[in-house]
Amino acid sequence: MELMRIKDLPITADLAGFAAVVGVIALGAVAWVARGGLTRRWEHLVGLLGLWMVIVGQYMGLVSSPRERMMGEVGRILYVHVPSAWLTMLTFTFTCAFATFFLFSGKRHWDHLVEATAEVGVVLSILLQATGMLFAKPTWGVFWDWDPRLVSTTVMMLSFMGVLTLRGLLDDVDRRATWTSVGSILATTSMIVTYFSVRWWRSIHQMQSSPDTVADPMVFVLRWNAFAFLFLTVWFVVQRARLSARREALDAPPALPEEVPA
C-alpha cells in the first residue's frame, strides 16, 4: 500500500547514478570551456551516434522487446517516456549548474550553455508531456488529471519557458545573461519538486522505476534509449550554444576586451 507519504524511502542508488552522469558531463564541459570553448566541431560524432542509437532503440522498443504483462503493447511507450523524463531533468540540472558557473565567473560560454540547455530542456519536457498523456490514457484512463506530479511537471516546463521569454525581452547583453541565470536557478526549484512530487505527495503517477522494478530485457532497452537521448541532447545543446555565440557576436560585437588585471 502506498497510502502513506513515502518521504523516507532510500533514494541513494537512484541519485548516485544520476550524480555520476552529471559529474562526467560537468567535468567534460568545464574542460571544454577551459580550452577555449566553441573551436572544434566534435559534437557531430556524438549526434550521429545518438541518431543511430535512437533508430536501433526505437526498433527494439517497437518490435523486439516483449509486451508488458498488464499494459500490453502500450507498455512500449515507456521507452520514449522515461528517457525524455530523465533527459529533461538532466538538462535542467545543467541549466542550473551553468547558470551558477556564469554568475560566479562571468564567462560568456556559460551563458550560451544556459540558454542552450534551457531551450533543449523545454523541447524535451514537451516530449515528456506528450508521451505522458499518451501513456496515461490507455493505462490510467485519462489523458490528464490535476495530480501533483502532472501539475509540478507543467510548472517546471512553464518556468523555463518563462526564463527564455524573459531573456528574449532583455536587449543588454550583460543584464540578459545575469537575469537568465538568476531565473534559471530559481526555476530549477520546480524541477526538484517535480522529481520528489511522487514521494512527497499522493499521486496517481507511480514512483520512479528502477532496475529492481523493471524486468532485465526491458532495462536494457530503456538504458539504450536513455543513452540515445543523452547523445542527441548533447548534440542539441552544443549546436544551440554555438548558435548563441554566433548570434551574440553578430548582434553585439564586443566593444572592449574583457577586464585584464594590471
| Angle at the Cα of 130 from the Cα atoms of 50 and 21, rounded to 5 degrees | 40
* Binding residues for another protein restricted to 67-96, rule: CB under 8 A: 67-78, 80-81, 84
Using rule CB under 8 A, residue 46 touches another protein: no
C-alpha cell at 48: 550521429
185 binding another protein? (CB under 8 A): yes
Smallest gap from residue 110 Cβ to another protein (A) = 11
Pick out residues in 191-220 that bind another protein (CB under 8 A).
Answer: 192-193, 196, 200-204, 206-210, 213-215, 217-218
The answer to the question of residue 154 lying near another protein (CB under 8 A) is no
Q: Do the Cβ atoms of 91 and 120 come closer than 8 Å?
A: yes
Classify the C-alpha dihedral 6-200-97-113 as positive or negative: positive
Among 135, 164, 148, 157, residue whose Cα is nearest residue 244: 164
Choose one: 18-26, 34-42, 164-172, 234-242; the region binding another protein (CB under 8 A): 234-242
CB nearer to another protein: give 32 or 132.
132
Number of residues that bind another protein (CB under 8 A): 86
144 near another protein (CB under 8 A) = no
Where are the strands (E) in 115-163, listed by range? none
CA distance 89 to 34: 25
Q: Which of 16, 250, 260, 262: binder of another protein (CB under 8 A)?
A: 250
Query: Does 120 interact with another protein (rule: CB under 8 A)?
Result: yes
Q: Pick one of 13, 20, 27, 62: the residue that binds another protein (CB under 8 A).
A: 62
Q: Give the whole-angstrom CA distance, residue 93 versus residue 99.
A: 10
d(CA 55, CA 243) in angstroms, rounded, equals 26
Residue closer to another protein by CB (options 34, 48) is: 48
